[in-house]
């Protein structure tokens, strides 16, 4: 995934290592490798990271590392995405779920809630219900 850690191994990494990674800043190249494999476009990532499309393009052009708040959000979303794939058992099924309006979310698409930590936490709760077979 991000800076020499694969997406699957980040869950196994110690919290202090993840915090150190966040503090150093996620390099754009590592982030872009994750973007290519995931369901979100760069404009969607701009929304999730609360930066303009132009700023995102500058990070890309300059191969810049993200600041701490954006790096933290990238890791938060990577961990959420990894969990979602495990819960659904299949990347394409989880990607489809993210893009469809959901009754449990008041007819909101899950991916539209990823711009806030509160939204991500709510989605974690929904994933927990799905894991336990509760309608979500």
pLDDT in tens, 25-62: 999 999 999 999 889 999 999 999 999 999 999 999 99
Express the helix, strand and coil content of the chain in percent, nearest 5 each: 65, 5, 30
Question: Who's near 25: CB < 8 A, 6+ residues apart?
Answer: 65, 66, 67, 68, 71
pTM: 0.85
67-100 confidence digits (pLDDT tens): 999 999 999 999 999 999 999 999 999 999 999 9
Domains of the chain by residue range: 15-131
Measured at the CA of 55, the angle between CA 31 and CA 27, to 5 degrees, comes to 25
Residue 85 CA to residue 69 CA, distance in Å, equals 24
């Amino acid at each position: 995934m991000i800076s020499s850690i694969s997406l699957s191994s980040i869950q196994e990494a110690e919290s202090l290592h993840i915090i150190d990674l966040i503090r150093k800043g996620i390099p754009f190249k590592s982030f872009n490798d994750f973007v290519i494999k995931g369901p979100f476009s760069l404009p969607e990532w701009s929304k999730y990271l609360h930066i303009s499309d132009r700023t995102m393009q500058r990070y890309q052009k300059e191969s810049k590392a993200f600041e701490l708040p954006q790096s933290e959000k990238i890791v938060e979303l990577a961990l959420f995405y990894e969990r979602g794939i495990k819960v659904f058992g299949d990347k394409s099924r989880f990607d489809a779920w993210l893009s469809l309006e959901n009754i449990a979310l008041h007819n909101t698409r899950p991916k539209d809630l990823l711009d806030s930590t509160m939204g991500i936490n709510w989605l974690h709760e929904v994933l927990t219900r799905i894991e336990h077979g509760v309608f979500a």
